[in-house]
A and B are shown apart, each in its own frame.
Chain A
């Protein structure tokens, strides 16, 4: 049963050094506040899994929290590069980063396999691409019924899944809507899970087919309003495109990045304080 706790407590108790952590959210509902808290608590040697690393993993990688990244598209959407991710891959800064690269279809299927308690996922995928030449985690098998050659990838089974959602009730039942990505699969594939939400309400009042993750499969629920910023929470606030553009400048150099992270993330106690520090003025205090 989900405990309603502070984000600090959830990260402290549920994410351990060396863990495999999947922080999901496909452009929408990215658990940014949780990412900052992981940096703040100086978690290290993490294997990070995420289809679209985005700013949240640029920050974790640039701060040296990760030893490995599993991903399928690593850019700043609509803007350009993730410079900290590139610096880690191209130059090993601040530490060498092992990567395992997939397609979206491969990762989406691997999450579904994890949630289904299967050892691997099977798909019509990776045909003709060079990715299988570099990774032993992409193999081809023959269908036992038709003989068709199909791709296989191991199931994703994170130690911890971290997602952001719109609402939870006091029993920890979680409701999300809009672009729902792979969050349900990520939570069900993981041993432990942290869900940050815009608000905790008395009743979810959701229609029967809404995407609800029952509280009894969630470890911790934390109320963190605006916790998906600079991504968005459908029905609450829009994507902050200007921050994605600002990040391009903040993250371009090691010095600028470290200064920003030290001041606004390490130098604040929680997400509310971070927002006052980093987002209090329109220019994001570059």
Chain B
């Protein structure tokens, strides 16, 4: 098929969708994670089980929900449970393969901040807060993060650890009693970062087509390293782009519809 033009956001969403496997159980955050998870479901992973913290299990929304509790999530779910049941039986119960999160800030060790920029007691910017993320980050087997890359978002050390990643160079997650493995990959609009197995530092593991390494380095608040023989991410395929654009278009129309 002919090569198609695409945006950096489309590349990011498609690269993230590709990291999900069919039949996995995925606990999905709203926004960018939700778009990528549903793209995976509509392309290569038709049997993926999507779970949202509002209580919807096995949901198959035809359009992307604007909020975590839109009616379409309940209408298209296998079952809807209460919020305490969701966090107790399903998340803490160890049923989740992949926790799929967004964030305002991520640091060198994959710790996530969605709470404040600046000092907690005197914040420069007050962000929404934790939501379900702290326990998703520790209870899911693996964590996938999707976030646009910039020096403000990619910092040496987050201002506040809302959801723990790999902590720091020396502390082991397991010593804190955390069972999950933590961040497996951070997918951005410039590339894919993965923790270095020895140092735990997030390291560039794949670069998106047409992006220079210097560009990624300049968008990162610590001296970014890349793996040897850095591969280039496969460009979006036409089928992926068409499916994503259809999904975004349907969602836009649906969310703009006036109140019934």
Enumerate chain B residues within 8 angstroms of A103, measured Cβ to Cβ: 130-135
Question: Which of B84, B126, B162 is close to A182, meaning CB atoms less than 8 Å apart?
Answer: B84
Whether B80 lies near A180 (C-beta < 8 A) is yes
Enumerate chain B residues within 8 angstroms of A185, measured Cβ to Cβ: 82, 84
Chain B: residues with Cβ within 8 Å of the partner, total of 57
Closest 5 A/B residue pairs (Cβ): A27-B69, A128-B164, A78-B66, A75-B128, A77-B67
Say yes or no: is A199 at the interface (Cβ < 8 Å to chain B).
Answer: no
Say yes or no: is B184 at the interface (Cβ < 8 Å to chain A).
Answer: no
Say yes or no: is A273 at the interface (Cβ < 8 Å to chain B).
Answer: no
Question: Which of B115, B163, B173, B259 is close to A238, meaning CB atoms less than 8 Å apart?
Answer: B259
How far is the CB of A15 from the nearest CB of chain B, in Å? 24
Q: A29: nearest residue on chain B (CB-CB)?
A: B69
Per the bound structure, the CA–CA distance linking A279 and B162 in Å amounts to 38
What total count of A-B pairs have CB within 8 Å?
Answer: 185
**Contacts A130-B161, A178-B80; A102 near B130 (Cβ below 8 A):** yes
Interface SS majority for chain A: loop
How far is the CB of A11 from the nearest CB of chain B, in Å? 25
Q: A24: nearest residue on chain B (CB-CB)?
A: B83
**Contacts A51-B83, A129-B134, A180-B55; A73 near B128 (Cβ below 8 A):** yes
Say yes or no: is B231 at the interface (Cβ < 8 Å to chain A).
Answer: no
Chain A: residues with Cβ within 8 Å of the partner, total of 59
Q: Give residues in B with beta carbon < 8 Å to A.
A: 30, 53-56, 65-71, 73-74, 80, 82-84, 86-88, 91-92, 111, 115, 120-121, 123, 126, 128-135, 137-139, 160-164, 167, 173, 176-179, 255-260
Whether B87 lies near A179 (C-beta < 8 A) is no
Say yes or no: is A260 at the interface (Cβ < 8 Å to chain B).
Answer: no
Per the bound structure, the CA–CA distance linking A148 and B92 in Å amounts to 14
Whether B82 lies near A129 (C-beta < 8 A) is no
Question: Which of B82, B111, B164, B257 is close to A181, meaning CB atoms less than 8 Å apart?
Answer: B82
